Amino acid sequence: MSNRVEPRTLAGFMELLPNEQILFNQMKETIEKTYQRYGFLPLDTPIIELSEVLLAKAGGETEKQIYRFEKGDTDLSLRFDLTVPLAKYVAKNYGNLSFPFRRYQIGKVYRGERAQKGRYREFYQCDIDIIGDGELDIINDAELPSVIYTLFKELGFDDFTIKINNRKLLNGLFESLSQNIESIEILRIIDKIEKIGKDAVISELEKLGLNNEDINKIIKFIEIDGTTDEKLEKIENLEIENETYKNGLNEIKEVIKYVRIFGIPEQNFRLDLTIARGLDYYTGTVYETFLNNYRELGSVCSGGRYENLAEYYTDKKLPGVGISIGLTRLFYKLNELNIIKAEKKSVSEILIVPMMENLQKPIEIANTLRSAGINTEIYLNNKKLKAKMKYADKLQIPYVMVIGEDEISSNIFKIKNMETGEEKTITSEELKNANNIFNENILKFTGKA
Amino acid sequence: MSNRVEPRTLAGFMELLPNEQILFNQMKETIEKTYQRYGFLPLDTPIIELSEVLLAKAGGETEKQIYRFEKGDTDLSLRFDLTVPLAKYVAKNYGNLSFPFRRYQIGKVYRGERAQKGRYREFYQCDIDIIGDGELDIINDAELPSVIYTLFKELGFDDFTIKINNRKLLNGLFESLSQNIESIEILRIIDKIEKIGKDAVISELEKLGLNNEDINKIIKFIEIDGTTDEKLEKIENLEIENETYKNGLNEIKEVIKYVRIFGIPEQNFRLDLTIARGLDYYTGTVYETFLNNYRELGSVCSGGRYENLAEYYTDKKLPGVGISIGLTRLFYKLNELNIIKAEKKSVSEILIVPMMENLQKPIEIANTLRSAGINTEIYLNNKKLKAKMKYADKLQIPYVMVIGEDEISSNIFKIKNMETGEEKTITSEELKNANNIFNENILKFTGKA
């Protein structure tokens, strides 16, 4: 064959080696199991949608990033998040769903961002949302931090903080200003305070046309400090009287109260008045989650409350609250920083290495182990022992059973623990209940501080 | 809001209701777990690839079906199977893999086929392949039917047949003919015998230019009947002397011998000399799998041996053997024929229904149950009992615990089995070990004849 093509993968598309893939899948499964633990229903929508449907709402920056193309006469786009497909799904299947509709979706989404290290154009989002029919109690906004808490504990992390705020507080504050400025514009600027600092925020607010008194009011608000309870007291005493602010105050008090009832320890959540998520469509509660020892990762799980999920598709009012984890980027960062280690190189718990021509008995034993629920591989190729053991070594399969004529005639088999070198003998009858001799070989995440 | 967009999903793209999705995911998980049981490693390649890479080999029918488009200056395509991405992956990562490289991949692929009922443009393939470095023993060709057998048993089927053949037998037969005709052309015709019948096959072979003697030889061959052993004896006695045929004969005898050693019962496999898979790239063993009571489904799991996986990308010789299940179509057909039933409407095992304002205790109980590994939902919205019970009913959550002031003060709680109406009482301490009172609520597949 001439004219070979160089085998390569597109920049911005993650493609892992087997050991990394095993670890990635473990994280994905932990997320999925935790979502199910809270009763969220699975959903799997197409990756391709009609552009007219997918882009009903989009515009600006988002639209530029879309993978959009024609097939025949049809204008198609790849999904860029899992929320728009959810909105379409709920509007389309409204009559067949039970509300509150609690769904999770874990799947790939596509954004043609400028390629750079750690930025992906194809990446997994792991979302949950709770959608109400007409209304949705504020207590749901406290259940999601509980899911986040359980999830990051399951992933092996202890030192993380779920930051909680309510956009109505900020919007109420802006309403109380002497000037009438688009609150979204102010939010965009405030949202950057961690990145650009206070002085730059003040100067940007000035450019927006705000006077000093209003700017002081904003800065004073977002600089409110203390414990969560101290902050609640301070914002209550600010004497901002408009409805928006009062609603925000009531909501955040309820959310904080129930977050405690849900059992989230004080050190794992915090009221943070600077969190705005200005570019998103949230209208009430907002969340961001930080791993405190790895602040450079940014928020690893964000979300919030929105007033109306599917207004572009239906006149039904469908308020909701949701969170999302960008798993591909999170995995990349955790792996790069050695916070997680892709140590497991095989899904097999045991490798059977036959040393004779007649494979009858080794295959029988493999079948027995598999029936007992043990992931079992049998080396089927006619190689020297050395080559076979090299394979076991490279894949670091935890147990190896070498079977020769001696083992067959004595009906006593040796299982070797490849890490400790320890050997256990066992008869082929005993193998039927072999589960108990295998240690759980699940890789521990090492996310602890 | 005016200008609403009608929420709709593209034709040829499967989008399921939650109960169907639960069942689909159960099948997908069964497939994945079985693949892991045999030690296959997970792989997840991008859905988008460079057209130059993805289409290195493609042509004709396949190329027309590709979703191909430009983004910026880059010519991109969506993958149309999982084999080409595997070839690219193995060629690219050759130095980092252990051979034989055993991988599974379960993912969506894209083919812009003409839309018709039960045909999908986006569908899941569930593949396993074993790739050798330079060589791969024939016994691997017998392990894959063992995976197929275990898998369809796990899915709840008993009456299925794995049909096995070897292309070298057919190719050797064609070599022995008096005329020199492209064997792929003859294969294409033979492959259709079940569909179009013997007479039509003869007439198509005549059109191809074969004389009567050769046609008779072919027909006589594919009409060889009897048990698998009788067929083996008959094809051995045919006295076709070329190397291709002799190799095919030796290979199929080895495969059949080991298929038996792998413990596949006689009624679940058969040597079928008509199976050619003419349009595929197989060079030796080929498989097709049929559910005997639902022949109209066609082959539900097919595959075979190929000489060289990645010749378009590398000069390394990488022989392999693999199988593939088209899960989306299989699910659609099984569901349509009522062979499987999407009865489970929730992933929750229990719904907690609080009947008071203070949710402290109900939330504590939900947390306790979740910690015990039980998927638990708590009804958090302030509705009348009737509305809450309607939600439990619609989702058919197997257990419900209504909590009122009485339960709180007595610390005795009732768990109601919603199917039998039976109630169990339990204290909040006992809930910590609640696993045992919940029956496994896994839906049984009803694939039995």
Mean local confidence (pLDDT), B145-149:
98
Q: B445 falls in which pLDDT band (50, 70, 90)?
A: very low
- H/E run at residue B351: strand B350-354
In the block, tokens 């009922």 appear at B117
Mutate which of B5, B45, B131, B435 to test chain A, going by most A C-beta atoms within 10 A? B5
Report for B76-90, B177-191, B209-223, B272-286: range of highest mean pLDDT? B76-90
Kindly determine whether residue B21 and residue A5, on different chains, have CB atoms separated by under 8 Å. no
Greater model confidence, A444 or B322: B322
Kindly determine whether residue B38 and residue A98, on different chains, have CB atoms separated by under 8 Å. no
- What pLDDT is recorded for position B194? 80
The predicted-structure confidence for B29-38, as pLDDT tens digits, reads as follows 999 999 999 9
Set of chain A residues whose Cβ sits within 8 Å of the Cβ of B147? none
C-alpha of A374 from chain center: 29
- What pLDDT is recorded for position A151? 98
Q: Which candidate, B46, B65, B123, B47, places its Cα nearest to that of A71?
A: B65
Spatial distance between the Cα atoms of B70 and A424, rounded to a whole number of angstroms: 59
Q: Quick check: A446 and A334 in contact, CB under 8 A?
A: no
pLDDT at B446 over 50: no
Mutate which of B13, B15, B83 to test chain A, going by most A C-beta atoms within 10 A? B15
Q: Quick check: B160 and B152 in contact, CB under 8 A?
A: yes
Kindly determine whether residue A96 and residue B359, on different chains, have CB atoms separated by under 8 Å. no
Using CB atoms, which residue from B136, B146, B395 is nearest to A381?
A: B136
Kindly determine whether residue B91 and residue A367, on different chains, have CB atoms separated by under 8 Å. no
Look up residue A170 and give its two tokens.
């900020």
Look up residue A404 and give its two tokens.
């020769």
Greater model confidence, B276 or B389: B389
Look up residue A249 and give its two tokens.
């105050």
pLDDT at A213 over 90: yes
Could you give the 3-state DSSP secondary structure of residue B318? coil
Kindly determine whether residue B139 and residue A314, on different chains, have CB atoms separated by under 8 Å. no
Write down how long chain A is: 449
In whole numbers, what is the pLDDT of chain A averaged over residues? 92
Kindly determine whether residue A347 and residue B18, on different chains, have CB atoms separated by under 8 Å. no
Q: Quick check: A323 and A31 in contact, CB under 8 A?
A: no
Greater model confidence, B303 or A58: B303
Set of chain A residues whose Cβ sits within 8 Å of the Cβ of B42? 18, 21-22, 25, 347
Q: B181 falls in which pLDDT band (50, 70, 90)?
A: confident
Greater model confidence, B437 or B45: B45
Kindly determine whether residue B69 and residue A69, on different chains, have CB atoms separated by under 8 Å. yes
Query: What percent of chain B lies above the pLDDT cut of 90?
Result: 80
Please name the residue of chain B whose CA is at the shortest distance from the CA of residue A37: B375
What distance in Å separates residue A134's CA from the closest CA in chain B? 12
Mean local confidence (pLDDT), A418-445:
71
Kindly determine whether residue A15 and residue B102, on different chains, have CB atoms separated by under 8 Å. no
- What pLDDT is recorded for position B180? 84
Set of chain B residues whose Cβ sits within 8 Å of the Cβ of A382? 137
Using CB atoms, which residue from B14, B18, B376 is nearest to A41?
A: B18
- What pLDDT is recorded for position A58? 67
Using CB atoms, which residue from A100, A137, A377 is nearest to B39?
A: A377
> What is the DSSP track for A385-400?
HHHHHHHHHHHT-SEE
Please name the residue of chain A whose CA is at the shortest distance from the CA of residue B260: A360
Using CB atoms, which residue from B8, B87, B378 is nearest to A92?
A: B8
Mutate which of A5, A10, A94, A136 to test chain B, going by most B C-beta atoms within 10 A? A5
pLDDT at B440 over 60: no
Look up residue B423 and give its two tokens.
């109630």
Set of chain A residues whose Cβ sits within 8 Å of the Cβ of B148? none
Using CB atoms, which residue from A16, A69, A314 is nearest to B7?
A: A314
Using CB atoms, which residue from B1, B16, B381 is nearest to A100?
A: B381
> What residue spans of A176-240 are helical by DSSP H?
183-190, 193-196, 198-207, 212-222, 228-236
pLDDT at A203 over 70: yes
What distance in Å separates residue B128's CA from the closest CA in chain A? 14
Kindly determine whether residue A44 and residue B15, on different chains, have CB atoms separated by under 8 Å. yes
Query: What percent of chain A lies above the pLDDT cut of 90?
Result: 80
- What pLDDT is recorded for position A215? 94
Beta strand B320-326 pairing with B350-354: unpaired
Set of chain A residues whose Cβ sits within 8 Å of the Cβ of B9? 45-46, 49, 88, 92
Using CB atoms, which residue from A21, A112, A137 is nearest to B71?
A: A112
The least confident of A445-449, B139-143, B298-302, B335-339 is: A445-449
Kindly determine whether residue B391 and residue A360, on different chains, have CB atoms separated by under 8 Å. no
Instruction: Round to the nearest angstrom and report the end-to-end CA distance of chain A.
Output: 53
Kindly determine whether residue A382 and residue B52, on different chains, have CB atoms separated by under 8 Å. no
The predicted-structure confidence for A421-434, as pLDDT tens digits, reads as follows 999 998 888 887 77
In the block, tokens 């082959």 appear at B299
Q: Quick check: B269 and B161 in contact, CB under 8 A?
A: yes
Residues contacting A437, CB < 8 A, separation 6+: A415, A424, A426
Mean local confidence (pLDDT), A395-411:
94
Set of chain A residues whose Cβ sits within 8 Å of the Cβ of B394? 98
Spatial distance between the Cα atoms of B192 and B201, rounded to a whole number of angstroms: 7
Mean local confidence (pLDDT), B400-414:
94
Could you give the 3-state DSSP secondary structure of residue A339? coil
Please name the residue of chain A whose CA is at the shortest distance from the CA of residue B40: A347
Encode B90-110 in three state secondary structure: HHHCHHHCCCCEEEEEEEEEE
Greater model confidence, B428 or B286: B286
Set of chain A residues whose Cβ sits within 8 Å of the Cβ of B110? 48
Encode A76-87 in three state secondary structure: EEECCCCHHHHH
What distance in Å separates residue A143's CA from the closest CA in chain B? 9
Burial annotation A424-440 (CB, 10 A radius, 16+ → b, else e): eebeeeebeebeeebee
For A56, how many CA atoms within 13 A lie in the half-sphere containing its CB? 23
Q: Cβ atoms within 10 A of the Cβ of A96, count?
A: 9
Q: Quick check: B415 and B402 in contact, CB under 8 A?
A: no
- What pLDDT is recorded for position A443? 34
pTM of the predicted protein model: 0.94
Query: What percent of chain A lies above the pLDDT cut of 70?
Result: 95
Look up residue A60 and give its two tokens.
């600006």
Look up residue A417 and give its two tokens.
């623990």
Please name the residue of chain A whose CA is at the shortest distance from the CA of residue B29: A29
Set of chain A residues whose Cβ sits within 8 Å of the Cβ of B136? 381
Please name the residue of chain A whose CA is at the shortest distance from the CA of residue B392: A98
Mean local confidence (pLDDT), B377-395:
92
Q: A244 falls in which pLDDT band (50, 70, 90)?
A: very high
Using CB atoms, which residue from B36, B44, B112 is nearest to A375?
A: B36
Query: What percent of chain B lies above the pLDDT cut of 70?
Result: 95
Kindly determine whether residue B7 and residue A91, on different chains, have CB atoms separated by under 8 Å. yes
Kindly determine whether residue A53 and residue B7, on different chains, have CB atoms separated by under 8 Å. yes
Helices B140-154 & B18-37 angle (0-180, nearest 10): 150
The predicted-structure confidence for A335-379, as pLDDT tens digits, reads as follows 999 999 999 999 999 999 999 989 999 999 999 999 999 999 999
Please name the residue of chain B whose CA is at the shortest distance from the CA of residue A92: B7
The least confident of A32-36, A186-190, B72-76 is: A186-190
- What pLDDT is recorded for position B449? 30
Mean local confidence (pLDDT), A426-449:
59
Mean local confidence (pLDDT), A381-388:
91
Please name the residue of chain A whose CA is at the shortest distance from the CA of residue B139: A380
Report for A269-273, A435-439, B60-64, B187-191: range of highest mean pLDDT? A269-273
Kindly determine whether residue A375 and residue B38, on different chains, have CB atoms separated by under 8 Å. yes
- What pLDDT is recorded for position A446? 35
What distance in Å separates residue B350's CA from the closest CA in chain A? 9
Mean local confidence (pLDDT), B38-64:
89
Kindly determine whether residue B7 and residue A122, on different chains, have CB atoms separated by under 8 Å. no
- What pLDDT is recorded for position B437? 64
Mutate which of A3, A27, A29, A37 to test chain B, going by most B C-beta atoms within 10 A? A37
Query: What ipTM did this prediction achieve?
Result: 0.94
Set of chain A residues whose Cβ sits within 8 Å of the Cβ of B139? 359, 380-381
Using CB atoms, which residue from B16, B69, B88 is nearest to A7?
A: B88
Domains in chain A, please, with CATH? 18-45+82-336 (3.30.930.10), 350-437 (3.40.50.800)
Could you give the 3-state DSSP secondary structure of residue A304? strand
pLDDT at A440 over 90: no
The predicted-structure confidence for A49-100, as pLDDT tens digits, reads as follows 999 999 988 666 678 899 999 998 999 999 999 999 999 999 999 999 999 9
